[in-house]
Amino acid sequence: MPGGGLAGAEGGGRGPPGSAGGDEWTRERLEQAGTWLKRPPYDYQPTRFDDFWRPNESLLAEWVRKGIRTISIPIPGGNGRALTCVVSLLQLGGGCGIRDPNLNEQPAVARPPPEVPFKPELQEDNGSVPGRE
């Protein structure tokens, strides 16, 4: 096997920096390192239509999105509850429901640990050491 896995001039492979036949890191190459990461400047100029442009939305989807209205009517004495209605003008439909921000608010309570009986004949040694009974 020629070279025997040696790096540099004897082995003909890549060796440490500065060795013969290996990577040659000169001052010029060090200064050029990382220049491939630099990108060209972004030359896009925004137009007046950018606020209205939705690339993945059709005209019908935009009309439906703009035609939906949400109305929230607070319930007096309801402790934050409100009657919330969503109306779609284009579809001529809607729906109402009660919104309660405190609905799932519960104090955190942990349950007590379960009662597990202790059985020494099952827990201790279980015949793993020969000669002990």
Could you tell me if residue 85 is inside a domain? Answer: yes
| Mean of all residue pLDDT scores within the chain | 75
Could you tell me if residue 6 is inside a domain? Answer: no
What local confidence, expressed as pLDDT, does residue 85 receive?
Answer: 92
Res. 64: pLDDT tops 50: yes
Could you tell me if residue 78 is inside a domain? Answer: yes
Res. 89: pLDDT tops 60: yes
What local confidence, expressed as pLDDT, does residue 100 receive?
Answer: 86
What local confidence, expressed as pLDDT, does residue 33 receive?
Answer: 72
8 Å CB contact between 89 and 67: yes
Could you tell me if residue 82 is inside a domain? Answer: yes
| Mean pLDDT confidence for 60-69 | 85
8 Å CB contact between 29 and 39: no
Could you tell me if residue 87 is inside a domain? Answer: yes
Residue type, 51: D
| Mean pLDDT confidence for 53-81 | 85
- pLDDT confidence bin for 26, thresholds 50/70/90: confident
Number of domains, the chain: 1
8 Å CB contact between 125 and 119: no
The rounded distance, in Å, linking the Cα atoms of 2 and 11 is 7
The rounded distance, in Å, linking the Cα atoms of 86 and 95 is 5
Could you tell me if residue 113 is inside a domain? Answer: no
Could you tell me if residue 30 is inside a domain? Answer: no
- pLDDT confidence bin for 56, thresholds 50/70/90: confident
Coil, helix or strand for 73? strand
- pLDDT confidence bin for 19, thresholds 50/70/90: low
Domain assignment of residue 77, given as a range = 68-99
Q: What is the pTM of this model?
A: 0.36
